[in-house]
Structure 1
Amino acid sequence: MDCRLGCGACCIAPSISSAIPGMPNGKPAGVRCIQLNDDNLCKLFGKPERPAVCHRFKADRDICGTDSQQAIQIITELEQLT
């Protein structure tokens, strides 16, 4: 599965413990990453300063569901379970 352009769920719902440019302590779950632009596209995509955890994330129907709202719900539930 390819990422849905403009979804941004993986940059909003989960916590990220590694440093992100502009967010040196990472980000808590449910907080929008500072590196998302107004179209929910990552400003660091393809750049070396993009965190490894973000680079390793691969879209999958089980995680991303059928639309952006479902992706937020699934990732939020997984975040709460861990």
Structure 2
Amino acid sequence: MVCRSGCGACCIAPAITQPFYGMPAGKPAGVRCVHLEDDLRCALFGQPERPACCGRFLAEPAFCGDSREEALRILTDLEAESLPA
């Protein structure tokens, strides 16, 4: 699957627990990454400052669904499931 233009769900829904360029405290779940541009593209894509976890994420129907809204719901639900009980 090719990353959906105008989505950005993977830059909003999941938490990034390690510090990274521009977000020294990491990124909480549900918070827009500071590097997500207005057109919902990553400003760090292809750059060495991009977090490794972002580089490992692959757009797949199981995560991205059929729309931006569905992707946000799926990734938010997955993030909630990963929280300790």
TM-score, structure 1 normalization: 0.96
Unaligned runs of 5+ in 2: none
TM-score, structure 2 normalization: 0.93
Q: CA–CA distance in 2 between the matches of 1:19 and 1:43? A: 17
Range 35-44 or range 20-29, more displaced: 20-29
- The RMSD of aligned alpha carbons is 0.7
Q: CA–CA distance in 2 between the matches of 1:65 and 1:12? A: 15
Q: Aligned pair count? A: 82
Structure 1 runs of 4+ aligned residues shifted over 6 Å read none
Q: Which residue of 1 aligns with 2:72?
A: 72
Q: For residues 27-53 of structure 1, what are the alpha-carbon distances to aligned partners after superposition, in whole Å with 9 as ceiling and x for unaligned?
A: 000000000011111000000110000
Range 19-28 or range 35-44, more displaced: 19-28
Return the letter of the residue paired with 1:69.
E
Unaligned runs of 5+ in 1: none
Q: Which residue of 2 aligns with 1:50?
A: 50
User: Identity of aligned pairs, percent?
Assistant: 57
Q: For residues 42-79 of structure 1, what are the alpha-carbon distances to aligned partners after superposition, in whole Å with 9 as ceiling and x for unaligned?
A: 00000011000000000000110000000000000001
